């Protein structure tokens, strides 16, 4: 598997930001992050949470999947071999996100495999996405905060999360959890 290095992620963020004519300050205003944090990200010094990376990609006008795609997914065909998937490790989230499909503009779904280590979480607070999302727990146990409710999900459980609904994933168990997540574009 191809693990994305923080430096490569930072370089792509900088390139996309500059292509859009955004200064660090205006980019900070669009993402609600400090210019200092964004500078550290662009220089490969910090590992943002999954939720933070989604906000950054959105402010750059791409989905997280398209962001992955520009970092290494194939342009030809739809087969992605298990040993060549693009991975984005998030030290902050204690998680890894893997692109399960070539993620390019025009795709209607974005399938990803999220592995949450013990103590991992998708974000500090529940966040909303502008798209519908389907998730299936492949292994382990996770806590899903969905709107005002909290659910304990185990392998075999699934959930559909509506557009704009607040949600947060947490793994409070002693072993890793793997979740198949499909975002509907």
- CA 35, CA 15: separation in Å to the nearest integer? 16
Instruction: Decide: helix, strand or coil at residue 183.
Output: strand
If one compares 146 and 77, the residue with the highest pLDDT of the two is: 146
Which phi-psi region, left, alpha or beta, contains residue 61 (left: φ > 0; alpha: ψ -120 to 50)?
left
pLDDT tens track for 99-126: 887 666 566 788 999 999 999 999 999 9
Match 């947490």 to its residue by tokens.
170
pLDDT tens track for 141-185: 999 999 999 999 999 999 999 999 999 999 999 999 999 999 887
pLDDT tens track for 13-41: 998 899 899 999 999 999 999 999 999 99
For domain 2-184, is the CATH number 2.60.120.10?
A: yes
Residue ranges per structural domain of the chain: 2-184
Angle at 173 between CA 170 and CA 174, to 5 degrees: 135
- Name the nearest CA neighbour of 158 among 176, 182, 185: 182
pTM (global) more than 0.75: no
Tally the C-alpha atoms within 13 A of residue 8's C-alpha that lie toward its C-beta. Answer: 14
- CA 94, CA 89: separation in Å to the nearest integer? 8
Instruction: Decide: helix, strand or coil at residue 16.
Output: helix
The pLDDT of residue 11 is above 50: yes
């Amino acid at each position: 598997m191809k693990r994305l290095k923080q430096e490569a992620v930072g370089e792509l963020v900088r390139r996309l930001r500059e292509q859009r004519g955004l200064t660090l300050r205006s980019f900070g205003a669009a993402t609600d992050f400090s210019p200092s944090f964004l500078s550290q990200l662009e220089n490969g010094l910090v590992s943002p949470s999954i939720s933070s990376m989604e906000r950054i990609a959105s402010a750059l006008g791409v989905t997280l999947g398209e962001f992955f795609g520009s970092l290494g997914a194939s342009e030809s065909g739809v087969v992605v071999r298990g040993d060549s998937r693009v991975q984005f490790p998030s030290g902050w989230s204690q998680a890894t996100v893997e692109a399960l499909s070539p993620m390019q503009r025009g795709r209607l779904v974005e399938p990803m495999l999220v592995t949450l280590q013990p103590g991992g979480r998708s974000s500090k607070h529940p966040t909303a996405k502008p798209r519908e999302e389907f998730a299936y727990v492949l292994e382990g146990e996770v806590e899903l905060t969905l709107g005002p409710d909290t659910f304990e999900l185990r392998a075999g459980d699934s959930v559909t999360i509506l557009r704009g609904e607040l949600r947060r994933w947490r793994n409070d168990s002693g072993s890793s959890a793997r979740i198949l997540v499909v975002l509907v574009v």
